Each structure stands twice: as C-alpha cells, then as structure tokens.
Chain A
Amino acid sequence: MMKKFMCAVIIVMMFAVTSACAKIKPDVDLSKMNGVMAYSGLFNVMCNPPAYEGKIIKVKGFCDSTHDDDTGKDYYAVVLIDGSMCCMIGVDFVLKSGKYPKVGDMITVMGKFEQYKDGEDTFCRLSDAELM
C-alpha cells in the first residue's frame, strides 16, 4: 500500500516538473527591463514588425482600453511609459481566455506578436495572450 502511494506521489511530482519545464519562455522579455529600455525595446518591435512576427513577447505595463463605435469592439492594450515620463507606447493584446483587467491596472502580458488587418489598415497585437 505504501509502495503504491509513493509511486503515485513520484508520478505526480514528475508530471509537475515536466509541466514546469514545458512552460513557454518568451523570445523577447521586456518585463524585466527598466523604463527606458522597455520603452525602447517595444518601440523597436513596433517599428519593425516583420522581424518579430510569430515571436513570444512578454511586456509589463498598465492596461488601457478603447471602444470602437463603428465595429462595437473593445480593444485592450498594455502601455509603457519611458523613464523620463514624457513618452508612451503600447501594444494591443487579445487574451486566450479569462477576464480582461481593469483600465489602469499594472499587468504583465505574454503573447504571440502578429500583424493583422482591420479594414484597410494593418495593426500589431499580442494574440493568444496570457496574464502573468
């Protein structure tokens, strides 16, 4: 009985370790950078979208939202302010699942960077995103 219990515990622990190792790691992690570098990093991503297409990007900033009256859609973005508080930059995100945060909340978001068309215009966003 004891042996069966120990085997079950070991199997569960191995499963937990394997799951932790299989966790997705970001290709570009801006969440660990200071204000100046995180702002510059996201600026470079947004100015050169093809180079980051399909990459997993992790960003920390505050949540903002806007409502489009024409389409009736709500758009959520994570916004960064640079170190001297004079400039802001953000990127849209679409959650894989779950509830969206409140506007003004400090969030860390990780998702796949992609370009998409909305009408005639091309935009960038983090798709299949998760709140960390």
Chain B
Amino acid sequence: MTAITRTYQVPGNDFARAGEASGHIKRILKELGFSPEMIRRVAITTYEAEINMVIHAGGGTVTATISPQAVAVVFEDHGPGIPDLELAMQAGWSTAPQNIRDLGFGAGMGLPNIQKYSDVFEIKTAVGQGTTLSVTIFAEGKEPI
C-alpha cells in the first residue's frame, strides 16, 4: 500500500457535523485492517482535535496521510490562536464557555489527550493568526490502550 492522503473541511460551531472527518478517517483505517488499538488511538486523537477546531477556531482543514507504518494528521485553522500554550496543555484548564460544557466538552482534557495518544505531537500557534497541530501515530507506537 502506498500512502494515501485525505483532506476535510471542518465547519466551525456546527456540532451536528463535528466528528465527521474523524469518523471517515476511522472507517478508512478499519477497511485497511489496522489494529483496533491503533485505530482507537487515531480516533481519539483526531476527534479531540476536530472538536477543538469546531469549538475554538471557527473550523479549519484536516489532512490525513495514511501509510502502513503510520497515520499523520495535520489540523490547520485560522482562528484566534492560543495565547498561553503552556497553560492550554495543562489537564483541566479550559476556556470553553458554558454552552460547550453543556454538550459534554470543555473539561480541559483535549490537548493533553491528543499528546497522550499520539507518538509525535507538534503545535504551532500565533495569536490572531491561527494554530497548526501535527500529530503522528505509528502502527508500532505507544503501548496499547
């Protein structure tokens, strides 16, 4: 199998459609026969990042590159950026408003979870310009969850 790439446009503040990109990526991985542990790690990572994009950034672009060895996903938005990345990486810290918490999100676990379940985690952010999050999950990566 050669690497395949899929790109998704994620609309902002649309909670009926949030998760569509992650669901599609997950179905591709299932069809390709990746292990359940690998698929779950990718699913949690991409879903958390997609939800973040919908909540905080007004949407953005998700690009997934899938090879037998790894799944690399880039989340790019042109939202407000993250003013204090160190704070945002702390478990339990969140800026999500009450209406988002009412949906079951905003526990401040998004970025820590993404880092926890990915093998490579890189985030570039600038206030007023946006955020680019790049993650890679290797087929033979972290311990199974």
A and B are partners in one complex rather than unrelated chains = no
Residues of B within 8 A of A (CB): none
Residues of A within 8 A of B (CB): none
